[in-house]
Chains A and B, each alone.
Chain A
């Protein structure tokens, strides 16, 4: 910024401050307290005083039967076609690593599935009942844990052929997470 411009900015700021003081105005609240917020699953930082948003928890969290059903839905609704049959990614991003573009907490994953995301993630809330989405979330949250449903493994014969051909092991065992 040139010195002329910066002096202009400084002048304008001072003038604005003066005029505000003169009108005796209070600083505007970013969000009126007590009002219901339109967004329940914020992806970005929350402006204002940082009121915590209510977090929806997965009714099927830690429920292996639900996670198993979720794995079936993951295939049936073609999630596997984009994100990979074991969530390793393809047309869509991997669900196996710590990177979550739109947040990795269960309610964030629920929101991404139900609302859709740009770059091609469909808005499944129009198609999949809420309880089924939660079951899919339950499955996704088992990925890369000791309770993962159907973790990716190579058939033994293929693994041997793979190693015999000099390729590095392509399928390390999933790292257990605390």
Chain B
């Protein structure tokens, strides 16, 4: 009987949807791809390398190049002020909502934090309506081993399937029309401290997923699965012998320091590579021309530096790999050995541009260590590395050796609290992705200005429990602010403008559009649209909780441009807003509590989807 009623509601919604679709203007483009370089007003000397999302938004990353740039321009700097809420939805989940929805074939898809439901929405006369939901029912065993709240960073659509990861280490493919599970593949083990939080990337018929758990002694890796069957095709580890790392004859690192045999073993103490961290929990880019994927690896484990002498490869590294075979093409370790928890997992944003008089195929990466790193993505050569937030651990990079120039006495050891390390373990930027506009040539970086004190402590490896070995305390960095949306001129490697947040770090991703609007959110509930050229505030609203999510845009069934975003405080910084974290202890939440001591006065948990139209 209940089934029948649901069926009736569904039919009603479906027919309403059909009515709406036929009565309104059809979409500009039926296909969700676009040729490169046909965005009007693109800056001379910049070329895009992958198709942009023209009406749908099918990849968690927007496009393969991770620009998070939408060519839609129905919303512009003049009319964006007319945005109004047209729909909202919540399941009452009081955790961090990272990532963002997808929009495919007039359906909006939302992935929630643990227990990781997938919810599909259609459009009706008033707003959005729930079509169906899929519950993967992950084991709550995984909840207690998620380092930084039970987040999920989104899903990717391909071949009629929504593919995403669930916290207890399964990748699932769900029928995008019916919500029925098509396959489910085990890609990790919670008993080893492993969790899944990242959004998969899908290239042709291959699904790429990483693994989280850099604070629990995991062995980081990338797993490739067949899109149709879910079968595991290959694995590329970040530590261990070359054969495990898929390092073969094609491997040509640019710098001498990264060349040699079995560095994934020889740069560690005995057997330490087996629990050395180097997880993969950020974003994956793809260059269709070179058929290479790009992604970064996380921090070295444990944070206690005395436990693991050596360079500890391939932690804190950027990989370029063949997208079909997984064979490594090049690697660059951004920072050997360090114990500051500087994951290098930030998205690698791909485009071609003129650099010092010559066209280069580049990638830019803004990692936790605080540098905007510009590289030649064919060769792995470092072209430029400049700090986008205060950095004390080094004075810059040596472009000839590919190594940072270290500042003495900031490395940490047991028994002594070292003060004034900037950035802190939460990073100058964390999971939250940048956006790049080819119209302005600016990279929009959601950054934090947080420093730390750190003291290493003896550490004991017990599978499935934290493997950290450090006392950490975060404090606001110099200059009287803690978060900043930075507009970064890539060609000149410098900041052009910034919008500062006094009391809280930034934790939301950024969306840039051809209407020259940049969208982002703050941890104290603001959702904002600013002018992509000068940062002028165009529109803002306050949502029901803090934003640690990634806004996206699409053309609805009526042909109008919509913006969708989640609110829902949580994640590494935002979880200090939870009642389960004591404000009495500045060392709580792996040190974040001290910096975000005021957050409980500004926001509270409660995740929801918001859709804005005009």
Chain A positions within 8 Å of B, measured between CB atoms, are 75-78, 80-82, 84-94, 96-97, 99, 118-122, 127, 144, 152, 154-155, 157-158, 161-162, 165-172, 174
Contact = CB atoms under 8 A, between A and B. Distances in A.
A89 B464 contact: no
In which size bucket is the chain B interface? 35 or more
B452 to A, nearest CB: 9
A122 B582 contact: no
Highest count of chain B CB atoms <10 Å: which of A99, A119, A158: A158
A154 B582 contact: no
A81 B471 contact: no
Interface of B: 140-147, 215, 417, 419, 453, 457-460, 462, 464-468, 471, 473, 475-478, 480, 502-503, 575, 579-590, 593-595, 597-598
A76 B590 CA distance: 17
Given A81-B215, A155-B453, A167-B595, A94 B466 contact: no
B147 A97 contact: no
9 contacts: A88-B581, A88-B593, A91-B144, A91-B147, A94-B585, A122-B144, A127-B462, A166-B503, A174-B584
B587 A120 contact: no
Contact of B581 (A80, A89, A121, A172): A89
A87 B597 CA distance: 16
B144 A96 contact: no
Nearest to A120: B144
Given A77-B462, A170-B597, A86 B588 contact: yes
B589 A86 contact: no
A120 B140 contact: yes
Given A81-B466, A158-B473, A166-B480, A89 B585 contact: yes
Q: Is chain B's binding surface mostly helix, strand, loop or mixed?
A: loop
Given A94-B588, A120-B145, A155-B419, A165 B476 contact: yes
Nearest to B575: A90
A152 B475 contact: no
B144 A82 contact: yes
B143 A88 contact: no
Contacts of B503: 166-167
A167 B584 contact: no
Contact of B584 (A82, A122, A171): A171
A85 B457 CA distance: 10
Contacts of B462: 77-78, 127
A87 to B, nearest CB: 7
B587 A84 contact: yes
Contact of A94 (B459, B467, B582, B598): B582
A108 B477 CA distance: 42
Contacts of A97: 579, 582, 584
Contacts of B467: 78, 81
A162 B460 contact: no
Given A84-B589, A85-B587, A87-B585, A166 B215 contact: no
B594 A170 contact: yes
A92 B419 CA distance: 26
A120 B590 CA distance: 17
A159 to B, nearest CB: 9
Contact of A90 (B458, B465, B581): B581
A168 to B, nearest CB: 5
